[in-house]
Structure formats: structure tokens, C-alpha cells
């Protein structure tokens, strides 16, 4: 989609007229540039009560002079950035062939931050995953959307800049969705690694390093190797380094990248198992975030570590009962091979600690229990640092990607350390509070800030995105499938907070 911001009154293509419910009358909208006959129709329709501007409502009116979509924004007092983002997204979602590819949206009724959110919503929603659909030969190539946004002259510059940033960040969101939607036969661990390498190739300020299965074994990454060894498609770790020479203490993002989670020997039931291709969405967000930061010209150093593996049952697979030794040296009794995300993250988190990071955030589709707790509406967050937790919460709220803090409790750490024969076990003794147990487990692999006895841990937060990375019907930015969740919230936190 191409967005052009200007202050003219020229209507190009289909006119989009957003209106508030409380000021919806035939007078109170911007009449400039609309053909008289069409204007009469609009006024008539509104005054006759055929359109009342309730949230989500829309009405298309047209005659020979042109076409206009009246868009309801609800009450002006309830309208905020989230509502504006949804309105922008729904324009694209509801667009039919009859509306053409060019739109002029009159955004003068919104403040500058709402207008920016409206454009962001439209840009984000302009996505579909159709690369595996055959195209009819005589079918026309779908044309790119062009959206003319009309605002007051004094707002043109700021809105142009906001739209540009939104477009840059959306390349990262759309990349994350592409990865999350990709079928698991084509997106396996080394395929992700190759894609990362290709991405880095012509960029002078990025390094991508791949730790192969053999190298991971050599290094002692027992968690990553144990999860991935049951598959012919071997595991790997992919490390993205953006602006490696910038000199700042880097933040590190760690992503769970299970390209398919069958459960392994503790195999899952077959219903909806196909969806377990999105069990790599943590690594999809990590990659998408690097793209978003790169595209928007971020200048500081930041690192992302993707822990890639396919969790398969086979004669080479790990068994329940196995004890593995992780990169940290800590041992884990594997009681359930379906609790695999925490095993690969154990090595990823420990590795992250080697970069002397300012903070670490991991993202993982880690537990079904978080979907029970929060549904698809919010990501669960656990953190050892109040400041980092607050920054994440505020950034999530600013972007309409809710992040909800959950408790990191010593009782759960105790449960995860209750193995009689190893340092840790990978599932708790009961099924209650499973997401908290998983978070408490991950905490064991966050390194200290220094070697001193009483040194604190590196600030760290864990985001369980099992509910928000897929199937979020109330997320208006997405039609179907992978959501690209938290590319925007993290981009916001890193660049604006």
C-alpha cells in the first residue's frame, strides 16, 4: 500500500468519510471537493437517518459523479488510538473490488495521533498469505492500494513521517506473519537460518551467525539438541546482530522457534495439530523485529537469538526420563517431551547472557495454559525487573498489543527444582498454574550481571504469546493466521522509551 498525505480537497478514487455518532448530521463534515449531486445524496441519507455512524458501521453511496463510503466511528468521546487503528484496518478488510484501488480518506475529524493510528491500521491489515494459491492465468495481478490521507496543512509533515515509520515497521510485522504462516514442510530450522542469511547478505550493518547442530552439540547446548535430534531436519541457533559496532550494551531478544511441535514421544492429540506450525512465532517475531528496526534506521546495537528445532517422535528422539545437560551446566530431567520450548530457551537464554546485555526479553508460544488464562486478548508476561516490565506493558498498550503481567513466584521455582535426580525437571508436579511453572523454569537460565556473589540477575522478561500469536479474532489488524505479535510493541519500546 502506498500512503500519500496532503492537505488538498481533491477526491481521487473512492472517498472515505469517517464520522462520529454524536455529530453525525448532513452539515457537519468536510464538504470541500465533493461533487454537488453526490453531496446532496450524502446529506439526504444522513438526515433521513439511514446512517448513524455507530462504531464499525459503513455505507457506500455512489452516482455517476463518484463513490463515497461513510464510516462510523462511534461516539467522539470514546474514540482513541485503538479505535482509529481498528477503523483504518476495517477499511482495508471490508474493501470490495467495486471500490477500486485508490481511496481518499478525510481524516480532519481525528487528532494527529489518531490519524497516524488510522493509517497504521490500514497498512497492517493490507496483508494476505497467498503464496501457495495457484493464480489463474487470465486473472489480473492485484493492484497495490493507494490511500490519500487528507488532513489540515499544519499536520501534513508529522503525519507523513508517522505513515513512513508505520510502513517501515509493518515490513517486519508482515515478515513475522509470513514466517508464522509458512507450512512446516518448507520452514524447518535450517530453512529459517538460510532465510536469515539471505536477509543479512546485502545489509552492511547486520551480522547473522548460525550455530549448526554439530556446533551446538560441541558447545554443549543440550536443550536445543535434545529437542531437535528426533527430526531429520536438525536444530540450529540463529543469532542476528544489528549494528554490531555501535558500542552500546545490547538488548537481547530470544525466540522459541519450534518449526513444528508434535509433542515428540509425549505426542499431542491430532486435533488442530496443524496449528503447531506457529510454534516458532517467538523466532518469527525476533526476525520481524530485526527487519522493522533495520528498515526504520535504528542505529544502536541489538541482538536476537532464535532457537530453532522440530519436535518429532522417532527412534532418535529424546524420551521422557532422559536427563540432559544444558549450556549453563544445569541438568534437566525431561518428564514430558511436549514441554520442549523451555528446553531450547534454556540454551538461548544462557547464550544471551554471554553478550553482557542491558536486558533480555524472550518470546515463546510456550503454554496452552496461558490461552486458558488470558484467551487471545493479551500476552502473559513474567519479569524479574519492575522497570522492564513497566516499559513492556506501556509499549504494548500504546500499540494495541496488550501485555499482562503474571506472577513469578518462588513456589513455582521450587516445584521445577523438585527432581530427585537432576537440577530441574521440565514439568511441574501438578497441572495447575502451568504457565507460571514454565516462567519459573526459564528464570533459572538468566545469568547474573557479574560474577560477584550477591550480583543481581540481568533484567529479563518472558512473554508467553501462545494465545496472541494466532487465532486472535478480535485483532482487527489480521484477517487469518499468524499475527506478527509484538514486533510493534518491541519496536516502540526500543525506539521510543
Compute how many residues bind ligand BES; rule: CB under 6 A. Answer: 16
Interacting stretch for ligand BES, rule CB under 6 A, among 70-78, 219-227, 300-308, 336-344?
336-344
Interacting stretch for ligand BES, rule CB under 6 A, among 36-44, 132-140, 301-309, 360-368?
360-368
Give the residue, chosen from 230, 341, 433, 471, that forms a contact with Zn ion under the rule CB under 5 A.
341
Q: Which three cell numbers stand for residue 18?
A: 469517517
By a kind-dependent CB cut-off of 5 to 8 A, residue 239 interacts, out of Mn ion, Zn ion, ligand BES, none, with none
The residue from 4, 94, 268, 417 that is catalytic is 268
- Do residues 169 and 489 make contact, with C-beta atoms less than 8 angstroms apart? no
Interacting stretch for ligand BES, rule CB under 6 A, among 28-36, 39-47, 95-103, 335-343?
335-343
- Do residues 437 and 366 make contact, with C-beta atoms less than 8 angstroms apart? no
Nearest of 451, 402, 444, 401 to residue 426 by alpha carbon: 444
Q: What is the DSSP letter of 284?
A: H
In the sheet where 102-106 sits, what is the strand order? Answer: 2-6, 146-150, 102-106, 14-19, 66-72, 58-63
Give the residue, chosen from 369, 422, 477, 487, that forms a contact with ligand BES under the rule CB under 6 A.
369
**Mask for 267-306, x = binds ligand BES (CB under 6 A):** ------------x---------------------------
Give the residue, chosen from 81, 178, 340, 347, that forms a contact with ligand BES under the rule CB under 6 A.
340
Identity of the residue, 151 or 424, whose beta carbon is nearer to ligand BES in the bound complex: 424
Tell me which residues in 1-60 interact with ligand BES (CB under 6 A).
none
Nearest of 336, 363, 210, 343 to residue 264 by alpha carbon: 336
- Is residue 310 a contact residue for Mn ion (CB under 5 A)? no
Identity of the residue, 258 or 293, whose beta carbon is nearer to Zn ion in the bound complex: 258
Q: Rounded to whole angstroms, how far apart are CA atoms 63 and 238?
A: 56
Q: What is the DSSP string of 32-90?
A: TT--HHHHHHHHHHHHTTS----TT-EEEEEETTEEEEEEE---GGG--HHHHHHHHHH
Q: Rounded to whole angstroms, how far apart are CA atoms 4 and 13?
A: 13
Give the residue, chosen from 338, 362, 415, 464, that forms a contact with Mn ion under the rule CB under 5 A.
338
Q: Rounded to whole angstroms, how far apart are CA atoms 338 and 360?
A: 25
- Do residues 245 and 352 make contact, with C-beta atoms less than 8 angstroms apart? no
Q: Give the CA diameter of the chain.
A: 83
Is 342 a residue of the active site?
A: yes
- Is residue 336 a contact residue for ligand BES (CB under 6 A)? yes
List Cβ neighbours of 363 (8 Å cut-off, separation of 6 or more): 253, 254, 255, 256, 281, 282, 285, 286, 463, 465, 486
Q: Which three cell numbers stand for residue 219?
A: 558447545
- Is residue 367 a contact residue for ligand BES (CB under 6 A)? yes
Strands (E), 158-265: 206-211, 236-242, 252-261
Nearest of 235, 227, 225 to residue 312 by alpha carbon: 227
- Is residue 261 a contact residue for Mn ion (CB under 5 A)? yes
Identity of the residue, 42 or 344, whose beta carbon is nearer to ligand BES in the bound complex: 344
Residue 143, SS3?
coil
Number of residues that this document lists for the chain: 497
By a kind-dependent CB cut-off of 5 to 8 A, residue 427 interacts, out of Mn ion, Zn ion, ligand BES, none, with ligand BES
Identity of the residue, 5 or 254, whose beta carbon is nearer to ligand BES in the bound complex: 254
Identity of the residue, 170 or 365, whose beta carbon is nearer to Zn ion in the bound complex: 365
- Is residue 279 a contact residue for Zn ion (CB under 5 A)? yes
The least CB distance from residue 362 to Zn ion, in Å, is 14
Identity of the residue, 159 or 258, whose beta carbon is nearer to Mn ion in the bound complex: 258
Identity of the residue, 261 or 413, whose beta carbon is nearer to Zn ion in the bound complex: 261
- Is residue 205 a contact residue for ligand BES (CB under 6 A)? no
- Is residue 261 a contact residue for Zn ion (CB under 5 A)? yes
- Is residue 362 a contact residue for ligand BES (CB under 6 A)? no
- Do residues 379 and 392 make contact, with C-beta atoms less than 8 angstroms apart? no
The least CB distance from residue 272 to ligand BES, in Å, is 8
The residue from 301, 342, 476, 488 that is catalytic is 342
Is 36 a residue of the active site?
A: no
Tell me which residues in 454-493 interact with ligand BES (CB under 6 A).
466
Cell 452539515: give the residue. 27
Give the residue, chosen from 88, 251, 341, 484, that forms a contact with ligand BES under the rule CB under 6 A.
341
Residue 425 vs residues 154, 258, 266, 366, 440: alpha-carbon distances, Å: 61, 20, 15, 16, 11
The bridge status of strand 360-364 relative to strand 460-464 is: parallel
The least CB distance from residue 315 to ligand BES, in Å, is 21
- Is residue 467 a contact residue for Zn ion (CB under 5 A)? no
| Residues within the interface to Mn ion (CB under 5 A) | 261, 338, 340
| Residues within the interface to Zn ion (CB under 5 A) | 258, 261, 279, 341
Report the catalytic residues: 268, 342
| Residues within the interface to ligand BES (CB under 6 A) | 261, 279, 336, 338-341, 365-369, 371, 427, 434, 466
Amino acid at each position: 500500500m502506498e500512503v500519500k498525505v496532503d492537505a488538498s480537497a481533491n477526491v481521487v478514487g473512492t472517498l472515505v468519510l469517517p464520522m462520529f455518532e454524536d455529530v453525525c448530521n448532513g452539515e457537519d463534515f468536510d464538504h470541500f471537493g465533493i461533487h454537488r449531486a453526490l453531496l446532496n445524496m450524502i446529506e439526504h441519507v444522513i438526515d433521513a437517518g439511514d446512517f448513524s455512524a455507530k462504531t464499525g458501521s459503513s455505507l457506500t453511496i455512489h452516482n455517476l459523479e463518484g463513490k463515497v463510503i461513510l464510516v462510523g466511528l462511534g461516539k467522539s468521546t470514546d474514540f482513541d488510538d485503538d479505535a482509529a487503528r481498528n477503523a483504518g484496518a476495517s477499511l482495508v478488510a471490508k474493501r470490495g473490488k467495486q471500490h477500486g484501488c485508490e481511496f481518499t480518506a478525510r481524516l480532519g475529524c481525528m487528532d494527529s495521533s489518531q490519524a497516524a493510528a488510522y493509517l497504521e491500521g490500514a497498512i497492517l491489515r493490507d496483508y494476505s498469505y497467498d503464496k501457495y494459491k495457484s493464480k489463474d492465468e487470465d486473472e489480473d495481478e492485484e493492484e497495490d492500494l493507494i490511500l490519500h490521507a487528507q488532513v489540515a496543512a499544519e499536520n501534513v509533515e508529522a503525519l507523513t513521517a508517522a505513515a513512513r515509520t508505520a510502513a517501515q515497521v509493518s515490513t517486519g510485522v508482515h515478515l513475522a506473519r509470513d514466517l508464522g504462516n509458512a507450512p512446516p514442510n518448507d520452514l524447518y530450522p535450517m530453512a529459517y537460518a538460510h532465510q536469515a542469511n539471505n536477509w543479512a547478505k546485502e545489509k552492511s550493518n547486520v551480522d547473522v551467525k548460525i550455530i549448526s547442530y554439530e556446533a551446538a552439540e560441541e558447545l554443549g547446548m543440550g536443550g536445543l539438541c535434545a529437542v531437535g535430534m528426533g527430526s531429520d531436519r536438525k536444530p540450529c541457533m540463529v543469532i542476528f546482530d544489528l549494528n554490531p559496532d555501535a558500542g552500546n550494551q545490547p538488548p537481547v531478544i530470544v525466540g522459541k522457534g519450534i518449526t513444528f511441535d508434535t509433542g515428540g514421544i509425549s505426542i499431542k492429540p491430532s486435533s488442530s495439530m496443524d496449528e503447531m506450525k506457529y510454534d516458532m512465532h517467538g523466532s518469527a517475531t525476533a526476525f520481524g523485529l530485526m527487519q522493522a528496526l533495520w528498515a526504520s534506521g535504528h542505529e544502536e546495537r541489538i541482538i536476537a537469538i532464535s532457537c530453532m528445532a522440530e519436535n518429532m517422535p522417532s527412534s532418535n528422539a529424546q524420551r521422557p526420563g532422559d536427563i540432559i545437560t544444558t549450556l549453563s551446566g544445569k541438568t534437566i530431567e525431561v518428564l514430558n517431551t511436549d514441554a520442549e520450548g523451555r528446553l531450547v530457551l534454556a540454551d538461548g537464554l544462557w547464550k544471551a547472557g554471554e553478550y553482557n546485555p542491558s536486558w533480555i526479553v524472550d518470546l515463546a508460544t510456550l503454554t496452552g495454559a496461558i490461552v486458558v488464562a488470558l484467551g487471545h486478548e493479551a500476552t502473559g508476561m513474567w519479569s524479574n525487573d519492575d522497570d522492564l516490565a513497566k516499559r513492556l506493558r506501556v509499549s504494548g498498550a500504546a500499540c494495541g498489543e496488550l501485555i499482562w503481567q503474571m506472577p513469578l513466584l518462588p513456589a513455582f521455582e521450587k516445584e521445577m527444582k523438585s527432581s530427585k535426580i537432576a537440577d530441574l525437571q521440565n514439568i511441574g508436579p501438578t497441572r495447575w498454574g502451568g504457565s507460571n511453572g514454565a516462567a519459573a523454569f526459564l528464570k533459572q537460565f538468566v545469568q547474573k550481571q557479574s560474577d560477584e556473589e550477591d550480583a543481581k540477575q540481568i533484567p529479563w522478561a518472558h512473554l508467553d504469546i501462545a494465545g496472541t500469536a494466532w487465532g486472535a479474532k478480535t485483532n482487527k489488524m489480521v484477517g487469518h493466521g499468524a499475527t506478527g505479535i509484538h514486533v510493534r510493541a518491541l519496536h516502540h519500546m526500543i525506539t521510543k522509551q
